[in-house]
Amino acid sequence: MVKYLLGSCFIILLLASCNKENVGFANESINDYYPLQVGNYITYDLDSTVVINFGQGSVAFAINHYQAKDVVDAPITDNLNRPGFRIIRYLRTDSSQPWTPNNVFMAIPTRNSIEYVEDNLRFLILMMPIKQDFSWPGHSYLPYNPYSSYNFANADFMSKWNYVYDSIDVPLTINSITIDSTLKVAEMDSQTSDPILQPGGYAERTYAVEKYGKGIGLIYKEFIHWEYQPFDSSAAPGYSGFGIKMSITGSGHN
């Protein structure tokens, strides 16, 4: 009788342990890494990269530096009548200047995803489950040529990206700010040819990554895309493209 009782207790403890682990995994939510509450804000160092062509192969990648502040401004609904939040980005050149509104974004938290709308382009920035190497098509909602104003030869360069959870629950220090738990989303890292080594051929470079801090939100973002057309091609010669780099400098609640 004692033997059967001990066996029953072991099974109960094992089931309880499994349930505890399952609950712990289920509680790991994308909302932990992208909290949306009116008044929340994050400040960043923001570097904007622009391409300047001087003709005959001479080019400069100019970097404009700003301080940025993203503020969760108000609850809203999107065009599908789903609840979301308006986020306003403020910019200034340095701390002696006042914050000036620069752009307005929208974040839509759903049961399994966070959708982020920027300049009428909708991105799936986070998805459930939070699991190492889990991937998803982050650009499912993008049109064929999302950045048509740049006249890229490869107009749909973003269509087949797979976002991947590259690292989970990793401590990270950025700008002397230590975040105990971060989530890295690897988006794209590719290059076709090299215009310096092969100036007579087409070249393309794309790199994109985002990192999120638990209880904070976006803490780091890097994106660069450029194309190079040789000067003997029928397309507009030289470089075209843009980039942005953001790194957290502070966060809080108004």
What residue ranges do the domains of the chain occupy? 31-253
Structure tokens that stand for 53 in this block? 């062509």
Structure tokens that stand for 152 in this block? 């890229």
Angle at 228 between CA 221 and CA 189, to 5 degrees: 35
Beta-carbon contacts of 125 under 8 Å, excluding residues fewer than 6 positions away, are: 34, 114, 115, 116, 138, 163, 185, 210
Q: How does pLDDT run along the chain (254 residues), one tens digit per residue? A: 444 434 444 334 334 444 433 333 445 899 999 999 999 999 999 999 998 765 555 567 899 999 999 999 999 999 899 999 999 999 999 999 999 999 999 999 999 999 999 999 999 999 999 999 999 999 999 999 999 988 888 999 999 999 999 999 999 999 999 999 999 999 999 999 887 777 778 899 999 999 999 999 999 999 999 998 886 655 566 788 999 999 999 999 99
Q: What is the CATH number of domain 31-253?
A: 2.30.230
